[in-house]
Amino acid sequence: MSENIGEVAEAIYEAATDGAEKLRYPVGHDAGPIIEARHQMDDVDFKNMIVGQMGI
């Protein structure tokens, strides 16, 4: 998760204006590993990983 609001704003602007059909615009240093984990796990395992990381 990015804590740099400018970085998030830039990604939102890119998503809104680039004309691409992309659904994901990774932002922040941990976005890549999280997306990679998502590709490698089923829904339940991914949800459990996120819940564990968030401490909820």
Q: Which two three-digit tokens encode residue 1?
A: 């998760």
- Residue 39 is predicted with a pLDDT of 94
Task: Please count the structural domains in the chain.
Answer: 1
- Residue 30 is predicted with a pLDDT of 87
Strand extents, DSSP E, 1-56: none
What range does the domain containing 9 cover? Answer: 5-54
- Residue 2 is predicted with a pLDDT of 56
Distances (CA, A) of 18 to 5, 9, 36: 20, 14, 23
Taking the C-alpha atoms of residue 41 and residue 49, their distance in angstroms, rounded to an integer, is 10
Q: pLDDT for 1-56, tens place per residue? A: 557 899 999 999 999 999 999 998 999 888 989 999 999 999 999 999 999 988 88
